[in-house]
Copies of this chain bind each other. A is one copy, B any other.
Amino acid sequence: MSLRGAALRVTRPRLAVLAVLREHAHATTDEVLGRVRVQLPEVSHQAVYDVLRALTTAGLVRRIEPQGSVARYEARVGDNHHHLVCRSCARIVDVDCVVGAAPCLTPSASHGFTVDEAEVVFWGLCPQCSAPSSDRKEVL
């Protein structure tokens, strides 16, 4: 069990949050709370905040914050993958590391910084939203 491996106590809320994130990537705290409550109706919102923070700190979960969105979480960690975000419907999909791999993740001039991660977000329109007159779902 990954919780034990991270020296975290195994509790119902933690197991439930992990299960939710494995099923539903890029969920917001609120969405996680809602889904966790299907199984554990009594969990508090504070518990979910605490759990998400603990899991993030332990590296079992990754927190992302695309512009204009509240924090979202995903259970896919350790592979430094990136995200593609639709400007229209806010859909998020994972993309593997950009082509050419490593060279892309080095800034041209690092100004003396020791860089340990390159975070990439691709912005655009998803297939549904870029289709001329389909039943797109506009955000807002």
A1 within 8 A of B: no
Can you list 28 A-B pairs with a CB-CB distance of less than 8 A? Answer: A63-B67, A65-B67, A67-B119, A84-B113, A86-B113, A95-B109, A96-B108, A98-B105, A99-B104, A99-B107, A100-B103, A103-B104, A104-B104, A107-B122, A111-B127, A112-B126, A113-B122, A113-B124, A113-B125, A114-B125, A115-B122, A115-B123, A115-B124, A116-B123, A117-B122, A118-B122, A119-B123, A120-B121
A106 within 8 A of B: yes
Most buried by B among A63, A109, A118, A121: A118
A106 touches B99 (CB 8 A): yes
A124 touches B117 (CB 8 A): yes
Copies of this chain, complex-wide, total 2
Docked Cα-Cα span, A63 to B93, in Å, equals 23
Given A65-B65, A65-B67, A107-B82, decide whether A120 and B120 contact each other with a Cβ distance below 8 A: yes
B108 touches A130 (CB 8 A): no
Which residue of B is nearest A82, CB measured? B107
B121 touches A119 (CB 8 A): yes
